[in-house]
Structure 1
Amino acid sequence: MNTVRPFTSNGGSEERVLAGISQAYPGRVGGWLLWARHPPRWSSPERSGAVSFDERNPQLNAVTWRNDEEARAAAVEADRRLAAGEQAPFLGVPLPIKDLTPVAGWPVTFGSRGASETPSKESELVVDALAQAGFVLCARTNTPEFGVITVAENVRHGITRNPWDTERSPGGSSGGAAASVAGGMFPIAHANDGGGSIRIPASYCGLVGLKPSRGRVPRLAQSWLGAVVEGVVARSVADSATVLDAISGPDPAAWYNAPAPARPFAEETDTPPGSLRVGLMAQAPIGIPTDPACTEAARAAAAISEEFVPPFIALTQAGLADYEGVDWSAVEPHIAHQRKVAGELGAYDYALAARTLELISRREVVRWGRDFDVLLTPTSAILPPQAGAVLEAQHAAPDQPNAEVVASVSFTAFGNATGLPAISLPLHWTEAELPVGVQLTGGPWQEAPLISLAAQLEQALPWAERRPSLLATA
């Protein structure tokens, strides 16, 4: 198993080298204590006192690789840009990249023993957009192998743990990203979502997880017929909306292009959503039992809305054929099985599955809005599973569907199949202080009213002051 590459220490000079991060996070910055609190422009103030990366990551295993030299150089550049009066929205703010996403000059392992550490030749488009927004890209976060299960667990890098309860998982596939933010190591983290991989970890970790519409954020690799979209996990709706402004835009090469918004998404957080019909669906549509706490979370959120109305994996396997330079003899058993199934999938079968997905998507998009404008559901049908349990079950029965994986995506996969935008909000906590997310799904390319409604819910049911007890020891 690879270990996280440690930062080198150069004593007191770090105060000057990290000036960009120091200005972004006023307070003590040295030895890569990343921040003491958010600057005024950030919508969610961090608790007082610096957070030590080296203290926190061994408890959570959220970050698998760090690039201290490049990050320090980027911090120096951020310092120069700040001194010159530049106003990039996230100038000097540290941000990790998920270990499924190429970054030029960085290794990407996909959480697999079969992947080499050959540096990528080019970055995914969202990486360039995040850098242009001023973020200091400095680390990689853990994922399941090739992102195909809903926990950040793999044999190569190990098990990522949930800051709210380290005996539980933070979810996946962006589990390392969510754990790093909820655990206080970063204020925001890159993530992507092909079936719930932004929203599920956000739900399990008490964060905001916004999945943009298909075609909203340009992407080099159109994975799973465009079902995979780029985004972040963050602490607030405003932070998520501001990042969406930074990474979205037209893409001439894309299969789908979302229309430009009427105004910046960040402005929607101060704009009343107007009259919206909110549909409530508290039980999973595929017959999966829903945990009572998840149902309670959805009903509690619905109780502050004005109007309710009653509403209504072949492509994933085939996507494993897209990876190059992988030693498939070294992958985990469930990945080997899925690749075997993919190899038996003929062109006709793939085309039929793709066509079926397209027809379902078109049907649901056309029907959207007849009875409701926003669909409110639990984000997941279950609470965070025990750490290590899902991976163990996958290894024990690699050719069988995993019940917890299916339950995790039972409310989220619909948004990827249809391309509709969705956001998970931390609106409920159990008696054991586990966060429970509530999902809002909007109409085609309707991030604006979704963000506006989400901001209203954040104000009505605030979560900014909630922190895992783990952070009380920092």
Structure 2
Amino acid sequence: MARVHAFTDDALGALDAVGVCEAIQRRAISPSEAVEAAIARIERVDPELGGMAYRTFDRARVEAAGPRTGFFAGVPTLIKDNVDVAAVPTRHGTDAYAARPARRNGELTKMLMKMGLVSLGKSQLSEYGFSGTAEHPRLGAVRCPWDTDRVAGASSAGAGALVAAGAVPIAHGNDGGGSIRIPASVNGLVGLKPTRGRVAQDRFFQLLPLRIVADGVLTRTVRDTAVFLREAEKVHRDLSLPPVGDVAGPGRKRLRVAVFTEALGRSASPEVADLALKTAALLEELGHVVEHAVAPLPPTLPEDFVLFWGSLALTLVSTGPVRGRTWDKARLDNLTLGLAAHCQRNLRHLPGAVRRLRAIEAAMEDFHQTYDVVLTPTVAHETPEVGYLAPTRDYETVMGRLMDWVAFTPLQNVTGGPAVSLPLHTTAAGLPQGMMLGAGRGQEATLLELAFELEQARPFATLAP
């Protein structure tokens, strides 16, 4: 097992994002020193991790030297390579075309800039975000810093690997089937998928027939995620949702928690199921009421979700030629092509699938009238080795293995509710194993209060020496 990290005695030290803010505010370090430290760290670890898709180091240096506003003013970060940053290509993790520089910042980038964050570039993802691992046929896999023989999850794999390794304290991710929470689980991080509409979003994601994608961040501490949501709310506010506000510690209310270790017709591995039950026992020790339950989900959920996922792939493949002369469908990976072909064969079933998926939201909101929180493992078994889920494998093999691993995360993408993965456990092999807490629409504050409580009760493991 080869571990890789960049933590050292520089301007960033072992500070989280809020810690970097505080150091800048009291002038212990400057934004330029923070950015230079992050650049040096990326250059040190990324050759082994493969988390960077595009570097904008010189641009970051200029931005750090100038005046900045916002709570996170001067804090270095990364933006996932499926949202637009002006003058930077948006590659979506694919080799199928040569991306041109974006003309302007997307809505998500505008929000991050208003918060004061300084982007050092784009982080790598799986092709179009479809896979649970980022294993690029040409560039290679994004690797987990806890064990570089293992994957770093996906699709926000680059963000997860580089935050866990200490290269940056906070990084953007988005989540359409678990893509914030899966890399959080794999890399030992906090990863919260917000409620649908909570955080500003690029227009493409807003136009989906079912808005399964939500934007957020990957962090090493609960407070970083809590402060990010607090500050994001100052820039973008959905008035249909209750405010998150300033959540700064555990809540007093004792919650009713439903726990289950099966989803989408799949069961967690014995080790992971046991870790989930240990988390349930910890919640009971803290005074919460925990009950084993079965979520009111139709048996069609897995097939319907894959069909909808496939419709996105079919749209991208069909409209690929508008990318210009460089478009080459043959350079797409087997998972993207397989999803598109699956949808093409079953296109007549798509309207019914979308209708059934939309109905799940109401069913789960009723469920959350009884249970404040749902506890599950984030992923169903230990982190796979590089190659196990490679999209160069045949479609049926990789899809079957993928669904076995990520059985728990798609639910909140369908319902639009929030969910957070917390790095509460380490497996027998010494790898992080996240546990996931889900709540009803708009209940991020409940999840953050519970996350603070669990972080205090069981401090998270880290690669920082």
Which position in structure 1 is the counterpart of 2:224? 239
TM-score normalised per structure 1: 0.82
The answer on whether the counterparts of 1:94 and 1:135 sit within 8 Å (CA) in structure 2 is: yes
Say which SS state the counterpart of residue 112 (structure 1) adopts. Answer: coil
1:314 maps to a residue whose letter is L
For 2:414 and 2:213, the matched residues in 1 are separated by 10
Deviation, 1:251, is 7.2
Say which SS state the counterpart of residue 396 (structure 1) adopts. Answer: coil
1:357 maps to a residue whose letter is L
Map residues 139-288 of structure 1 onto 2, 5 A cutoff. 139-219=121-201, 220-221=203-204, 222=206, 223=208, 225-248=210-233, 258-261=240-243, 264=245, 267-281=246-260, 283-288=261-266
The answer on whether the counterparts of 1:74 and 1:136 sit within 8 Å (CA) in structure 2 is: yes
For 1:467 and 1:168, the matched residues in 2 are separated by 17
1:317 is aligned to 2:316: no
> Aligned match of 1:71 in 56, 60, 66?
60
Say which SS state the counterpart of residue 448 (structure 2) adopts. Answer: helix
1:397 maps to a residue whose letter is D
Quick check: 291-300 or 138-147, which moved more?
Answer: 291-300
For 1:122 and 1:334, the matched residues in 2 are separated by 30
> Aligned match of 1:54 in 20, 35, 43?
43
Deviation, 1:273, is 4.2
Which position in structure 2 is the counterpart of 1:426? 423
RMSD between superposed Cα atoms in Å: 2.7
Quick check: 185-194 or 396-405, which moved more?
Answer: 396-405
TM-score normalised per structure 2: 0.83
The answer on whether the counterparts of 2:50 and 2:141 sit within 8 Å (CA) in structure 1 is: yes
Deviation, 1:401, is 5.3
1:316 maps to a residue whose letter is W
For 1:95 and 1:31, the matched residues in 2 are separated by 10
2:337 maps to a residue whose letter is A
Deviation, 1:60, is 0.7
For 2:413 and 2:149, the matched residues in 1 are separated by 29
Cα-to-partner distance string for 1:64-102 (whole Å, 9 max, x where unaligned): 21012211111112xx34xxxx5x221111111111222
1:381 is aligned to 2:374: no
Which position in structure 2 is the counterpart of 1:99? 81
Which position in structure 1 is the counterpart of 2:404? 407
Say which SS state the counterpart of residue 247 (structure 2) adopts. Answer: helix
* Count of aligned pairs: 418
* Structure 2: tracts of 5 or more residues without a match: 1-19, 295-305
1:355 maps to a residue whose letter is R
- The percentage of counterpart residues that share the same residue type is 32
Deviation, 1:304, is 2.4
For 1:249 and 1:359, the matched residues in 2 are separated by 32
For 1:20 and 1:268, the matched residues in 2 are separated by 17
2:222 maps to a residue whose letter is V
1:337 maps to a residue whose letter is G
For 2:161 and 2:59, the matched residues in 1 are separated by 23
Which position in structure 1 is the counterpart of 2:336? 335
For the structure 1 residues 20 and 423, does the alpha-carbon distance in structure 2 shift closer, same or farther, using more than 3 Å as the test? closer
Cα-to-partner distance string for 1:121-153 (whole Å, 9 max, x where unaligned): 233312111111110011111111111110011
For the structure 1 residues 71 and 166, does the alpha-carbon distance in structure 2 shift closer, same or farther, using more than 3 Å as the test? same
For the structure 1 residues 310 and 196, does the alpha-carbon distance in structure 2 shift closer, same or farther, using more than 3 Å as the test? same
Which position in structure 2 is the counterpart of 1:353? 353
For the structure 1 residues 415 and 259, does the alpha-carbon distance in structure 2 shift closer, same or farther, using more than 3 Å as the test? same
